[in-house]
Amino acid sequence: MQLGNNIKKIRELHNLTQEYMAGRLGISQAAYSKIENNELKMNQEKLLKCWKQT
């Protein structure tokens, strides 16, 4: 399982939308979707920020 899949599972466990997470991370929903689909890598800073949001 890749990182994007784990990020998606955690987001869904907390009943958060892609739009919400993208806004908290300061990126577009489209970019956030690409991260969850393993099409775009997330840098370490954004990854840590992502975990702190949940």
Tell which wins on pLDDT, 45 or 9: 9
> Domains plus CATH for the chain?
3-53 (1.10.260.40)
pLDDT value of position 37: 96
pLDDT value of position 48: 80
Distance in angstroms (rounded) separating the CA atoms of residues 37 and 2:
9
Mean pLDDT, range 8-36, rounded to an integer: 94
pLDDT value of position 43: 79
Residues 47 and 33: beta-carbon distance below 8 Å: no
Residue 34 is encoded by which pair of tokens?
Answer: 């690409």
**What is the pTM for the complete model shown?**
0.81
Nearest to 4 by CA among 54, 50, 53: 50
Q: pLDDT, tens digit, for every residue of 29-52?
A: 999 999 999 999 887 787 787 777
